[in-house]
Amino acid sequence: MKNIKYNYEMKRLLIATHNKGKLNEIKKGLKAFEERGLAVLSLNELNIAAKPEETGKTFEENSRLKAKFYGDMTKLAAIADDGGLIIPYLNNGPGVKSRRWPGYEATDEELIQYTLLHLKGVRVADRTAYLQTCLCFYNPVEEIFLCEEEKIKGRIAEKPIEHFTPGYPYRALFIVEKFNKYYDELTSLEHKQINHRLIASKRLVKRVKKYLIK
């Protein structure tokens, strides 16, 4: 492996998302490095509104694409993620099209109803589903990619929970197998145990720390 090139840019890390929930989850895994002088930045803080065309066929392909897009744009090390819902009964759909499943950028409510329509009358045994994510780190200095994937097993309910987290429509229907509860019913402790993005980010951080802190 090449010698790692350290400069002031490696003291800064971009979390390449506009989603505040995702940003906070990933930052939790970086807390120790922030305390050691790593500046964690967001797209909003840098006033970046541009978005790459997500042409990947897998979550990893899209997360790599986004990390490289924003890393090359800012010349900063970047972490990006991509993820969504996997339903084996529906040929692993919606997959990478989770937000655009109907063929356009759908609202939370539209996605909830679209999912229920596709599973209308389907028995419980065939409603197995996974919430999956892939986080990728990109170092523009050495052009290095490191990725981690994680998923949560559950099933799709026959009706949505009454109150759900805006921006996360599938959680309104997703019953976590480990606790047999809707995702949005989980306590903070339960959520911490199964939070796929947090778990993946902690694993990723262990691998990328040498590129961030000298």
CB 111 within 8 A of CB 47: no
| Type of residue numbered 113 | Q
Distance CA 83, CA 21 (A): 14
- Look up residue 155 and give its two tokens: 């099933």
CB 205 within 8 A of CB 211: no
Tell me which of 81, 82, 108, 184 is the catalytic residue.
82
For CA atoms 127, 89, 65, 196, give the dihedral sign: positive
Distance CA 213, CA 35 (A): 11
| Type of residue numbered 74 | T
Q: How far apart are the first and last CA of the chain?
A: 17
- Active-site residue flag, 82: yes
State the catalytic residues.
82
